[in-house]
Amino acid sequence: MHRLNTLLLVRVAVLWFYLLLPSLLCDNMMCYYSPVLEKEKKFELIATVCPPDELCFKADGRYGNHSALSARGCMAKKDCGQVHKLRLKGTVFTMSYNCCNEAYCNSSPGMAATSLYITVTLMTLLVMARGF
């Protein structure tokens, strides 16, 4: 029984190593992508790998004092912090871009921490279930 638990832990460790190794060997940032959309519209975030020397960004499109648009993706470091006008459906919005330099840091607030918590919880339950 003890040997089975050890074998399971080794498998889990190998799986984590296999999943994390590519991100450790390259300098490419992992980010979420979503096109420019109205805030009310729902869009399933897409995980993407940025080209070298790019960071994750989160964009906010404002019309006056109203935050109306959002977008996420990858952006060159030199373009971070930019603000420009965007015409969409006859309306001119002011788009501002904020960059961050951690994997998936352009997710919704708390989303990265929640997904990590869920992953750790599921892995713990899997290990415990195999032990009984």
Sign of CA dihedral 46, 48, 53, 55: positive
Distance CA 107, CA 29 (A): 13
**pLDDT grade for 60, boundaries at 50, 70 and 90:** very high
Give me the number of domains the chain comprises. 1
Q: Does the pLDDT at position 123 exceed 80? A: no
Provide the domain limits for residue 72. Answer: 2-131
Q: DSSP assignment, residue 28?
A: P
Q: Give percent of the chain above pLDDT 70.
A: 65
More confident: 116 or 49: 49
Sign of CA dihedral 87, 92, 98, 103: negative
Q: How far is CA 109 from the centre of its chain?
A: 11
Tell me, what's the pLDDT at 8?
Answer: 72
By residue count, the chain amounts to 132
Tell me the whole-structure pTM to 2 decimals: 0.61
pLDDT at 107 over 80: yes
Q: What is the mean pLDDT of residues 5-33?
A: 68
- What's the helix, strand, coil split of the chain in %, to 5? 35, 40, 25
User: Mean pLDDT over residues 12-40, rounded?
Assistant: 73
CATH number of the structural domain spanning residue 41: 2.10.60.10
pLDDT above 60 (res 89): yes
Report which DSSP code applies to 50: P
